[in-house]
Structure 1
Amino acid sequence: MRAAGEPRWVATILSSSLLWHAARLALVSAYLLGGLVKLFDFAGAVAEQEAFGLRPGWLWASLAIFIELGGSALVLADRLVWLGAGALGMLTLVAMLAANAFWAASAAERWMLTNAFFEHLGLIAGLVLVAMLSSRTRPSS
């Protein structure tokens, strides 16, 4: 179904299953990469968590790896997307608050942290949208 005034070629592109898969892969790509990097450099992942004040670092690093890889797999498989996207969104929220606390930053750092904070907020919105769209694109049982 086309939206009013939407050109047919746009509707064709937006209804493509290839685009649906590619968009979900793009959405979770940073999580996949982050999870794999943490997995293969666990000591670095622990140090990163502790640098942000998240202790014990091994627990937070383990949770991050599990959520980044597991949540991404659920989104990509289009199964339990609400759970995968929700877990990734909550992880992103924790990361935003721990790593991008622009309100507590010096004036020199404030702009960069503010920008990163709102980029992460947009990512959370994308995860919400993929969960909403996933449930609407499946055939009814």
Structure 2
Amino acid sequence: MTYPQTPRFVGRILDWPPVGFVARLALVGAYLLGGIVKLSDWPAAVAEQAHFGMSPPAMWAALTIAIELIGPLLILSGRLVWLGAGMLGVFTLLAAITANAFWSMPGGVARFMATNAFFEHTGLIGGFVLVAMITRRDRA
């Protein structure tokens, strides 16, 4: 079976340089914003970590802020993209396991929502792998 080529107008859109940057910004935007918000409200950032049982919460808040700011900046800058993607991918997996442990919940709405959130986070991890792969391929 043969498949048609990418339509010309789609190829032009995908080849337009700003599209790649905007796509990377869409992928990392929530992390970047999260880091900025946490940095601007340190007590809330520490309280969030305490809420999830992370100890000591101030250390985890600082680490979270660093990852949420450095990871996106690496991806957006195009430098050490593999590192930024890896940082955010591992962080996202650990956060999903910590905050969305649907397997330990009884059935119902809360479990349904945690399950959806967990798998949405795995989709983000896939996006980080893809951005690292594309960057590596484009530089080869």
Which TM-score tier does this pair reach, normalised by the shorter chain?
A: over 0.9
Distance 2:43 2:15 in 1: 43
2:91 matched to which residue of 1? 91
Shift of 1:137: 2.0
Distance 2:125 2:101 in 1: 17
1:97 counterpart letter in structure 2: I
Aligned: 1:130 with 2:131: yes
- Which TM-score applies when normalising by structure 2? 0.93
Sequence identity percentage: 56
Matches within 5 A, 1:103-118: 103-108=103-108, 109-118=110-119
- SS in structure 2 of the partner of residue 107 of structure 1: coil
1:39 matched to which residue of 2? 39
- Which TM-score applies when normalising by structure 1? 0.93
Q: CA RMSD in A?
A: 1.2
Shift of 1:95: 0.4
Shift of 1:43: 1.1
1:27 matched to which residue of 2? 27
Deviations for 1:64-121, whole angstroms, at most 9, x for unmatched residues?
Answer: 1001100110000000000001001111011001000001123231000000000000
Q: Which runs of 5+ in 2 are unaligned?
A: none
Shift of 1:47: 1.0
- Number of matched pairs: 137
Q: Which runs of 5+ in 1 are unaligned?
A: none
Distance 2:117 2:40 in 1: 25
Aligned: 1:7 with 2:34: no
